[in-house]
Structure 1
Amino acid sequence: MCGRFALTQAPIVVEEHFAASGVDAFPPRYNIAPTQPIMVVGPAPTREAGSNLPLRHAFLVRWGFIPGWVKDVKQFPMLINARSETAAEKASFRAAMRHRRVLIPASGFYEWRKLPGKRTQPYWIRPRHGGVFAFGGLIETYSEPGGSEIDTGAILTTAATGELAAIHDRAPVVVMPEDYTRWLDCITQEPRDVSDIMRPIQPDFFEAIPVSDKVNKVANVGPDLQDKVAEPPVTPRASVKRDDQLSLF
């Protein structure tokens, strides 16, 4: 799954990678947590064929998906992740999978490996060759009872591969650059047409770096969160089948 991530590249790097406008409003962040604003990239609102305008546009949503049919958000669990294998059928995500797929720019994410007892070891997980990349994401605009609206989002997950599988059985869906246009095309590309994009990433795409438990606190936001610490002893994890969300959804 994905419960914390970072986007640390300069805005110009993100802008060029995604061919997106609006990126300059987002400073680097080292510890992005649920309920906070996150950057998502979608198709540009208006763009004619042959135009020099950016292909895409970046904007903010709250990390924590709220389906449009929810009546009382206080009684609804926070959906920060959506299981890619079932999102197209789940009531919470079905409409967004069809109509509101987005890219979520990231430099990497954090994951915790369970150790004996109640201890955990956090890891900073990034592309082996560095750079910015994209999670597959879903968004929904929720209309509050008072009439105001809030844009919300979730990160899709899939099976972990390579060394990540020893840390956690799930990992974020990574959308490769050659698939950006097809993923964002919610007019001609139905969920079944983009299911191949949500496949597990190549086993050698990421590297996992052990880091200190300072990342556990949302208030810690400096680059030192990604400093490497001594690797703890590795104990193979048993294979676990689990769902990122309650079965109700």
Structure 2
Amino acid sequence: MNKKKTIFILFITILLSFLLGGLVYILFLKKNKENPKESSFDSRSEIYWQRLQNRPEVLKGSGYPSDLRDFLETIRGKESFLWKGDREETYRYLLQEFPDERGHVLYAVYVAFMNWKDKSLEIESSPSLSQYEKLTAVNRLKEEIFPKFLNELIFPKHPTSPPVILLSFLEDYIQRNPYSYARERKRIFLRKKAALYQEEKWDIQSWESPSFYRQVVELIYEREMKEMSEEEKTFYRSSKIEELKSDFWN
């Protein structure tokens, strides 16, 4: 009886130690998980970055670069190749080229932009993520780091983006559901397309390339086209492309 009791107590002790260890580990990870917003500034840019959260529209004012994304990429190139990664040189250059508040504001935006860039590269180099997951994570990171106005200023929407996301979404879905039927794939595709295009569908659809539809049809009807001759595939592909276009508007 005492032996059973001892074994039971030992079992409970081991179980509790595992649970406690797991809890400590989870709390440690939570505590040490880096907030992308908090790493978007340094000691010189913190004040200006915090101010930009409430008034990002200042960047549309007189004396600021008209194409902010191009400007930031240019500064990134200078920092990498001319100044060998020396952020101090970047800071001095911006204050020299943009006196008064502008230099400080642009430096704050640049630090945040480079934070996004570095974290995006980490995401894109992850072998465990699909292309769709990478695109989604990078876009989510933009929203986490930049205020809405600034996000749209640096990364203006372009009608070619939704088709790229849509295609990667379909590839990801089929990879996860390789035995799904064409009817289900088509339904999922059209539903996602409607969600992505929304009220801009007329403009976005005009940017869809022939290769986009070719890839979509070959993904959705992969099983059906497998045994077809090239001539049959050509006819089948054309009819399915027209069908997909028609179904989207209906």
Relative contact order higher in (CA < 8 Å, ≥ 6 apart): 1
Rg larger in structure = 2
Fold match, TM over 0.5? no
- The structure whose residues are more often helix, as a share, is 2
Bin of the TM-score, shorter chain as denominator length: under 0.3
- The structure whose residues are more often strand, as a share, is 1
Length-normalised TM-score, structure 2? 0.25
